[in-house]
Amino acid sequence: MKKISKINFGDLGKSFSIFFILIVTLRIITNFLFTKIIIVEWWILTIELILAAIVSYLYYRLKYHPTFSYDKESFILEIGKEKISSKWKDFKFISLYYSGLGKTSLRLYINDIYKDDYIEISVSDLRLNPKDFRSEVSKLISN
């Protein structure tokens, strides 16, 4: 099976920002509650940055990291810990969906394109050429 897995820096950056702000806020609140002063030291900031980086990376791997594996018969799509596997022949239609802000996905419809009965593969997160990938999948579905 061919496997494609790329780090999505957007989601990783988002996780890092959230955890960094959370850790700093918690530290400041705890600091203030016990000492009534807010300590600002470079070594504390460094520890917070490293901690945020570790926690956010683990969270990113659990929630956002995309992996796509496929062969002529089937594919497996993993987003974090969630896994979807299916056969190409289960799908009838494919489309490229542009959700804005540079995000493009390939949608695989089971039956009707006007029903929300589809699987979405984020082409931009996997850093694939959308039209080439669509052509390739189109051939796999029609086989």
Residue 106 DSSP class: E
What is the size of the binding site for another protein (CB under 8 A)?
13
Token digits for 143? 């086989």
Residue 21 as a binder of another protein (CB under 8 A): the answer is no
Residue 97 as a binder of another protein (CB under 8 A): the answer is yes
> Nearest CA to 66 among 140, 131, 138, 124?
124
Residue 89 as a binder of another protein (CB under 8 A): the answer is no
Residue 138 as a binder of another protein (CB under 8 A): the answer is yes
Length of the chain (residues): 143
Most distant CA atoms of the chain, gap in Å? 70
Residue 99 as a binder of another protein (CB under 8 A): the answer is yes
Q: Which is nearer to another protein, 85 or 138 (CB)?
A: 138
Give the burial class of 106: count Cβ atoms within 10 A of its Cβ; 0-12 exposed, 13-18 middle, 19 or more buried.
buried
Q: Which is nearer to another protein, 36 or 100 (CB)?
A: 100
Q: Which range, of 39-47, 53-61, 69-77, 98-106, touches another protein by CB under 8 A?
A: 98-106
Q: Which range, of 31-39, 50-58, 70-78, 107-115, touches another protein by CB under 8 A?
A: 107-115
Please state, in angstroms and rounded to a whole number, the distance separating the CA atoms of residues 97 and 123: 10
Residue 134 as a binder of another protein (CB under 8 A): the answer is yes
Residue 85 DSSP class: E
Give the DSSP H or E segment for 119: strand 118-122
Residue 100 as a binder of another protein (CB under 8 A): the answer is yes
Summarize as ranges the residues that interact with another protein (CB under 8 A): 93-100, 107, 113-114, 134, 138
